Amino acid sequence: MEPPVSVPLVRVADESLMPPGPWFNLGMIFGVVAMFGSIVLLTKTLLQTLAQMLSESPEGSNEQMLQVVVPGVNLPVSQLAYFFIAILISGVIHEFGHGVAAIREQVRFNGFGMFIFIIYPGAFVDLFTTHLQLISPVQQLRIFCAGVWHNFVLCVAALAFLLLLPLFLFPFYYTGAGALITEVVEDSPASGPRGLFVGDLVTWLEDCPVRSVDDWHACVREISHRAQAGYCVNAATLQDTRAGGRGYRRLDGTIECCSNNSLTDICFSYSNNLESRLYACLPARKTIEFSQTCHTNMDCQKDFVPSLCAVPSLENQTRLIRVKHQPQLDMLFVGYPLHLQYAVSLTNFVPRYGFLHFDLPVVIETFCKYLVSLSGALAVINAVPCFALDGQWMLHSLLEATLSSLILEKHNRELLGFFILLGGSALLASNVALGLWMVTAR
């Protein structure tokens, strides 16, 4: 926010209608802290980006707090409306904070406006520079910090609303019963007549209970990193279908014993305590649909019928996953767990009444997440001591308020500020340039 030069007008004399001073004092403190915090955050982000570039691995990219957003690349086209509305609201609240703080400090402004920069919406306030020059550096700092302060408040408010959303929607939607499927990617491993359907409620992944979307993701990660679960199968059934010497070794070292390329049969490995490892080709659904999961033969000693723990013999990293999704029959998924994770979209909110659509909570959730991310990012970026950003004026006012008695020459204070701004600008530009390269070139 760079206030243009203009002619002065009469100051506001009535302070009774103005917001209380402590609000903007808190904003000033937050702005100063955010200015130093933004340097730390940008430095950490830059080091993470450089580490990813040197490792030639995309792992860890999602752990960065700040990421460059490019519509159509790492921002889904279907969510562009959320992005633009959220960034517009964040910009308006940012400039509203500057405007109200200026009135509080008796600085008048010409007006308020909005603009489009390339494709991104924004807002601005037009302040009287002469009035700014007449007030103290501390008063100036309150005005310049008000934008990032109001963005932070908006971010916290949106986050609080997001966390309390189950309470607000409780009369219409309930949570904690499972993860409701809102979308299934066409031709994905989860689609098909025996797959998942929109409106199904997922309650279990193997022996991992699913009560929310977070549980779903946690279960997928757990299944990905642990050994394949087995299933308790009748010992007589295993003996009758024993593969004997028909098994052959795949290229990755695993054993395949179903040589007919059946889409319904799977090779299982087991031990009968006499021989170390045996194999049997069994129909997957009939074998495991009503079987309990196990890891050793001891887990199958609960029934009177002798049973053994049979483990699907699959290629490395692939898993057989039984998905319980009401009201359909269990889905049997064979493949990479992450493919299952990316094949569906889910929500925690289950409608209490048939006329309610499950898209409403999804829309509210998604918008709140964008508002939290973009308003928070706007606060961080504008706090950076960088040319043409709020951080430039915040730094200038801070130096005048704190170093006037230590560095008597104003020229020296301005020179110090110039070098700090130069470093902050270089840090921000480096993050943007490398962030764009990571998103578009890799």
Q: Which residues are part of the catalytic machinery?
A: 95
CA torsion, points 148, 151, 153, 158, in degrees to nearest 10? -160
Q: What is the DSSP string of 97-135?
A: HHHHHHHHTT--EEEEEEEEETTEEEEEEEE-HHHHHHS
What's the CA gap between 264 and 322, in Å, rounded?
14
E strand map for 79-229: 109-117, 120-127, 173-174, 179-184, 201-205, 208-209
Give the number of C-alpha atoms closer than 13 A to the C-alpha of residue 99, restricted to the C-beta side.
15
* Tokens at 187, concatenated: 């031709």
CB-based contacts of 333, cutoff 8 Å, min separation 6: 189, 190, 319, 320, 321, 322, 323, 340
Nearest residue to 108 via CA among 10, 33, 195? 10
Burial 213-230 (b: 16+ CB within 10 A, else e): bebbeebbeebeeeebbb
What's the CA gap between 65 and 68, in Å, rounded?
10
SS3 410: helix
CB-based contacts of 246, cutoff 8 Å, min separation 6: 257, 259, 281
